Amino acid sequence: MKYISTRGQNSQKLSFNQILLAGLAPDGGLYLPETYPQISADELQVLREASQKSYAELAFLLLQKFIDSDDISAQDLRKIVEKTYTPQIYKYSRLPENAVQITPLTKINENLYLQELSNGPTLAFKDMAMQLLGNLFEFVLQKYNRQLNILGATSGDTGSAAEYAMKGKKNIRVFMLSPHGKMSDFQRAQMYSLNDENIFNLAVKGMFDDAQDIVKAVSGDAEFKAKYAIGAVNSINWARVLAQIVYYFQGYFLATANNNQKISFAVPTGNFGNICAGHIAKQMGLPIERLILATNENDVLDEFFKSGIYRPRKSAETFVTSSPSMDISKASNFERFIYDVLEKNSAEVKKYFENLVENQQFSLQDKLTDLAKFGFISGKSSHQDRLQTIKKIYQQTQGKILIDTHTADAVKVATDLQNADEKIVVLETAQAVKFEKTIIEAIGEKPIRHSDFANIENLPQHFEVVENNVADVKKIIEKNC
C-alpha cells in the first residue's frame, strides 16, 4: 500500500512509515492511500469472527491492509495492537463486564445504540487513535534510530490524549502548550497531574490562539524544527484516521446478527476526522446505510451537506459552546472527503482548496446528487437541544444512561433524521463527567465519577508558566533536549 497527497497525483508515492510522522504533504495536501482496500463478502465474515475473538485481532487484520510488512512486520504489528487495545487501558465502560469489547454498545432502544468510544484514560474518543499512535511512533523511531519532540497547543482534549499516549515512551518528548487558567479544572488536573519525565506542560499567559501561534512560529522555523526534530500529532495525521476505521467495523458487527444487515452511524463532528474514517469504512464495503453528521452551533459542515457550499468561518466567528471539542469552523480532514467527491482528481482538489484561501468559500452545488451517493446526511443542534437530549435519555433509561454534550448533539440529530426501521449507532465521543457544569444544568445532579478520578483536582500538578513569547518556548525545548 502506497500513499499519495490529495493535491499531487504525480508526486512521489510514499510508504506508511514515511508518512507516519509527517503532517501536511509538501504540496499542502493530505496523505491518503492510493486506493481503499475492498472487503469481499467472505472477508467480511472473517472479520466478523475476528471481532468476536478480540478488538486487537480485528484491528490487526484491518491495519495490515494499509501497512506493508516492509514497514512493520505482521509479528510486530500484532504486538503493537495487542499492547494498545486492552481492557486495562479502555476500562471505563458503563458496563464494566463489557470492557473486553473495547468499544461496546449500549442500547437505548430497539433501533438506537451508543457505541462507547470514550473508555480510555482521558475519557474521550481521541484515546482510540492516540494510544495506537504512541505505540506506532515508539516502534518506528526505534527502528530508524530517531527522536521526536512533539509540540502542540491544546484547549483540552487533544493535549491530554496525546500526553497519556506518549508518556514514558522511548525517544519521544511532548511539549504541550495550554492557555494558562483557561481550561476546566478537570481537564487541567488530567494533564498537569502527569509526572513523567518526557512530558512538559507549558501554561502560556494568553489564550488558546496565542498558544497555537507559538506552535506555528516554532514549527515554521525550518532550522530549529530540523535541529530539534519537532513533530505534531494533530488530527490530519493519517494513522489517527486509520485507527478509527476499526471501530466502525466493530460497531457494525456488534449491532448486527449477520452481514446482510445495514446500519447507520451518527457522528458528532468537528474536524471531520472521525466521520472520515466512517466514510472510508463504507468505501471499503462495510454495509453502512447512512453517515449522519451532527454539528453544534458551529455548523459549517451541516451547511455544506445541505447547500453544497463550503464556507469556513474565522476564529472570531466561531461560537464557544457546551460541546467545545466541536467548536471548529474549518474542518481539517475535509479535503480527504472532497478528494473522493471530485473522483480523485487532485488537480481539481488543488484548485478548490487553493481558491478557498482567497475566496473564503467554494461551491459543489452542481454535485449535490453525487454527494448523496456517499450516504451523508447532516443536522445541527443547540445548547437547549443538548440539555433536553441529555435529560430525555437519562429519564427514559431510569438514570442508567447519562451522555455527554457532544454525544447529545449526535443523538439529537440522529433521532430527528431517523427513518422507520433504520438502526442507528451513535458514536459516544466523551463521558459526561468531563462536562460537569452542563450536566448539572441538564439533570440537576453531578455526574458520578469513577473512583480513579475522584480526587483528581487535588493531585499535585506539574507545569511551567511561560510568557506569551516564542523565544521563551524555544529556550525550554533547547534546555530539555
Ligand X SMILES: *Cc1c(COP(=O)(O)O)cnc(C)c1O
Residues labelled as active-site residues: 126
* Whether the Cβ atoms of residue 105 and residue 113 lie closer than 8 Å to each other: yes
Region near ligand X per CB under 6 A, out of 79-87, 264-272, 281-289, 437-445:
264-272
The residue among 57 and 163 lying less far from ligand X, judged by its C-beta, is: 163
Region near ligand X per CB under 6 A, out of 169-177, 246-254, 267-275, 452-460:
267-275
Binding of ligand X by 273 (CB under 6 A): yes
Binding of ligand X by 272 (CB under 6 A): yes
Binding of ligand X by 131 (CB under 6 A): no
The residue among 60 and 249 lying less far from ligand X, judged by its C-beta, is: 249
Which of 121, 159, 251, 268 is the binder for ligand X (CB under 6 A)? 268
Which of 58, 326, 443, 473 is the binder for ligand X (CB under 6 A)? 326
Question: To the nearest whole angstrom, how small is the minimum distance from the Cβ of residue 272 to ligand X?
Answer: 5
Distance CA 146, CA 133 (A): 16
The residue among 272 and 394 lying less far from ligand X, judged by its C-beta, is: 272
Which of 187, 234, 325, 381 is the binder for ligand X (CB under 6 A)? 325
Binding of ligand X by 295 (CB under 6 A): no
The contact pattern for ligand X, residues 229-258, with x = CB under 6 A and - = no contact, is: ------x-----------------------
Cell of 403: 451522555
Site for ligand X in 34-53 (CB under 6 A): none
Site for ligand X in 145-174 (CB under 6 A): 157
What is the distance of C-alpha 319 from the center of its chain?
Answer: 20
* Whether the Cβ atoms of residue 101 and residue 90 lie closer than 8 Å to each other: no
Site for ligand X in 419-438 (CB under 6 A): 429-430
Question: To the nearest whole angstrom, how small is the minimum distance from the Cβ of residue 325 to ligand X?
Answer: 3
Binding of ligand X by 274 (CB under 6 A): yes
Question: To the nearest whole angstrom, how small is the minimum distance from the Cβ of residue 51 to ligand X?
Answer: 22
Site for ligand X in 341-400 (CB under 6 A): none
Which of 104, 159, 270, 278 is the binder for ligand X (CB under 6 A)? 270
The residue among 149 and 264 lying less far from ligand X, judged by its C-beta, is: 264
The residue among 193 and 271 lying less far from ligand X, judged by its C-beta, is: 271
Applying CB under 6 A, the residues found at the interface with ligand X are 124, 126, 157, 235, 268-274, 325-326, 406, 429-430
